[in-house]
Amino acid sequence: MWNFPKYLILVLACLWMCVSGYRVTGQNNTAPQAQTLPVELRPPHPPEKTEQRFTIDAKRRSEDVQGEDALPRSREFKRIDSTYYVGWMFEGVYKYNHASDYLGFHNAIVPLERALNLLEKDYAKPLGLRTDNIIAYFPTHFFKVDYTLIAYYLMNCYSNTDQPDKVFSLLRRAQKWKLQHHYYMDCYNQMAWTVHRNRFYTSAKYGFLKNSIGENEKLANRYLDSSLMMIERNRGLNRNVLPEMEESEKLSVYHVKNILYIYSFRIDSAMYYFNLMRNVNRLPHNNYANFKVVCGDFRTADNEYKIASNSDQGDKRLQEWAYYSSILDIYKARPKAGEALARNMIRNNGSTPGFGWYNIALARCLTYDGQIEESKKHLEKAADFKELHIGTTLGQSHYDFSVQLLKLINTGQEIALIKFQNKRWYLDPEVLLRIGQLTAEKYLQQFLIINQFAQNPERDMVIYKLFSTESTVSWDEIWYLIHDFSTHFFVDKFTHETQTNKRKIVNKYFNLFIARLKIQQGHYDEAWRILETARNDQNSDPDYERLYYARLFQSEAECAQKLNKTTEYQTWLYRLYLQYPQLVPFSGLTMNMRLHLSGDADHSVEKSLNQCQINWVTNSDIPAVQAYINIETKGAKREISYYVLDLSGNYIVKKQGCTLKKGDEPGPIIAPRLFDIGGLVPESEGD
C-alpha cells in the first residue's frame, strides 16, 4: 500500500493533469507546472535550462501541437530555448499535418529529426526509466509520450517519401529504449507492418527483409509475437502505472495480425482476431469489409464500408472504403453509382494523396458504363499523377498494374464499340485502319503488362486467387489479363483452386473462369455442363453479384450459339441484357430488340440504326426488349428521348434524352444509349 503523503501527492497531481491543459494531440494530456509541484514530481530538466523550459512548459499547457497555431508557437518556443525539443516538435508536427506531397513530408523530416535528437540527448535517463512506482514514473511520462509522437510522425515521413530502410532504422532506434508503454509507437508492430508492406522485395533491396514473400510474412508475424511478449513482460511494471493501456496495445497487434492472416487466406485465424476486437467495440470496419470481400460476402462488405465512411476523418490519404465501394457498385451492375462516388471523392479531396486512386476508380466505373473515351481521360490523369501511398499496404506496383490493365481493357472495348456501331466494319477502309491501329496498340499493351506481371512475385497470392485483400482490380478485369494466353495453364490453375480453396462462395467464380476458358478451347459441351453447375450454386447473392450472373449468361449465350441451341441462345442473351445492359455491345453478341419510332423520326433514322450491331425483330416469339425512340426537330438540332422496357413492361433504361446536332449520324449515338451507356444517373443509383 502507498503511504498517505505519496498517495495525496498522486491524487493532487492527477487532479492537476485533468484541469491544466497540457496538450499533445488535441486532448488534455497534461504536464505539471513545475513550480507548483513537489520536487519529486517535477520534469527532470537540465539545471542550466530549468527556467527557460519551465516557461515553455507553462505556455505549452494552453497550446495544441496539432492546432493551426503550432507553427508560430514553435518559433516562440525556439526563441526562448532553441535547444529544447518542444519547439522543433511543434514545427515538425505542423509541417507533417499540412503536407500533401513528397516535398511537404520531406520538409517535415528536418524539425522532427532535430526534436528526436534533442529529446534523446537531454532526457536519456527519464526515457530509459522502467518502474512500477507511479511517483517515479510520473515526471518521465510526458517525455515518453512526446518521444513516441515525434518518432511516429518521423516514421510516417520516411514512409511517405519512400525510405523504408530509414523507417526500420528509426524503429530499431526507438526500440532500444524499451518503453513500458507504447503510446503512439509500438516498435514491433510497426516493424511487422513495414515488412509486410515491402514483402515482395528481398534483402538485396532492403536489409531488414528476407528473400521471399513467405519468409517476410513469417518475419512480420514474429515481430507481432514479440510485441505481445513485450506487453506481457511489462505487465508487472504497469500494474500500478496506467494498466488500462494494455488492452489498447494488444488490440493494435491484433489489427496487424488480421492484415497478415487475410493476406494469406487464413480465414479462421483472421475471424478469431476480428472477434476479439469486436468484443470490445474496436472492430476496424474498413479491414473487416476487405476481409468480407476476400470471403465473397459483398453485402456485408458494402455495409462495413458504409460504416467506415462515417468514421472517415478526412485526412490526406486514400480512403480505401471509397475505392473498393466503387468496385462493389460494378458488381451490383450500378457503375453510375460508383462513378458518382469517385467524382465526389475527387471533388472533395482535390489533388491530395488518393487523387490518383479515385481517378482509377472513376475510369473503371466509366469503362463498365461503356463510356470508353471518358474513361481514358481519367486513366491518363491517374498515370500522370504522383500518388503517395500513405497508411496503406497498397503501393506503386499495385497502382501501375491497375492503370495498365484498365488501359488494355479500354483498348479492347474501343475496338468492340467500333464494331458495334459499324455492323459492316470490315467493308469500311477508315474503320479498318482504326481497328488495325487499336489492335497493334492492344498487342503492345499486352506485351508490357505481361512483362510487368511476370516480374510480380505476388501473382499467385493476389491475382490467381481472386478477391485477394491486396488486389486493386475486380475479378472480371483479371479475365481480360489471362484470356488471350495459355488456356491450358489457367484451366489447371483454377481447377486446383476449386479443389483447395476454402472460400465456398468464391468457388463458382473459378468454375466460371474454367467454363469460359473451355469455350475458347472449343470444348462447348464441357463448358455447358460447368456453366450449369455454376448457375445452380446456392452460395449467391443476386443483388450483389449481378456482374457474375451477367458473365454467366453471356457465356451460356456464347456456348448455346456454338451448339446451335437457338432458343437457349436468345433466352440467355435476353437475360444478359436485363442483368447488365452495358456489357452487351462489348460482348460480340447481337441483341434482339423491337423498335418503336415516333415524332419526327424518318426512314433515315431507322436506316442509321440498322447499321449498328442490333437485330431489330418483329417476331413476338423471340424474347426481345422494346426500344422507344422519339425525335423532335428544333431548328438545326434534333431532341431525342428514349427508353427501353422488358417483356413485362418494366423500365430497363429509364426515360431520358440527348441532342443531335446538324450532321450527326443518329445510329452510332442513339444505339449505345439503348444499352444504358452514358446518359443520366437514375435516382436509385445515388442512394
pLDDT digits (tens, 9 = 90+) for 261-317: 999 999 999 999 999 999 999 999 999 999 999 999 999 999 999 999 987 665 678
The per-residue DSSP string of 143-200 comes to: HHHHHHHHHHHHHHHHHHTT-HHHHHHHHHHHHTT--SS-TT--HHHHHHHHHHHTTT
Distance from chain centroid for Cα 299: 17
Q: Mean of the pLDDT values across residues 643-659? A: 94
**Taking the domains of the chain in order of start, what are their residue ranges?**
4-185, 347-584, 591-686
Cell digits for 122?
A: 537531454
Four-residue CA torsion sign, 294, 296, 300, 301:
positive
Please give the single-letter amino acid code of residue 282.
R
DSSP state of 112: H
> Which stretch of 179-188, 240-249, 299-308 has the lowest confidence by average pLDDT?
240-249
The top-level CATH class assigned to 347-584 is mainly alpha
pLDDT score of 23:
44
Q: Could you please state the CATH topology (level 3) that the domain comprising 591-686 is classified under.
A: Double Stranded RNA Binding Domain (3.30.160)
Distance from chain centroid for Cα 632: 45
- Per the DSSP assignment, residues forming a β-bridge with 598 are 630
Residues across the chain: 687
In this predicted structure, the answer to whether residue 495 has a pLDDT above a threshold of 60 is: yes
Which of 308-312, 356-360, 656-660 is most confident?
Answer: 356-360
Residue 155 φ/ψ region, left for φ over 0, alpha for ψ in the -120 to 50 degree band, beta for the rest: alpha
At residue 367's C-alpha, the angle toward residues 361 and 369, to 5°, is 105
Residue 173 vs residues 36, 145, 148, 243, 439: alpha-carbon distances, Å:
35, 16, 11, 25, 55
Separation between Cα atoms, residue 168 and residue 672, nearest integer Å: 54
What's the predicted TM-score (pTM) here? 0.89
pLDDT score of 20:
38
pLDDT score of 29:
39
H helices of 617-659, in order, are none
pLDDT score of 33:
40
> Which stretch of 3-12, 80-89, 294-303, 445-454 has the lowest confidence by average pLDDT?
3-12
Res. 537 pLDDT band, cuts 50 70 90: confident
Q: Which of 548, 673, 532 is nearest to 609 (CA)?
A: 673
Q: Give me the residue label for grid cell 501541437.
A: 65
DSSP state of 226: H
At residue 428's C-alpha, the angle toward residues 424 and 429, to 5°, is 150
Neighbouring residues of 510: CB distance < 8 A, sequence distance ≥ 6: 466, 494, 495, 497, 498, 501
DSSP 3-state assignment of 619?
coil
pLDDT score of 388:
86
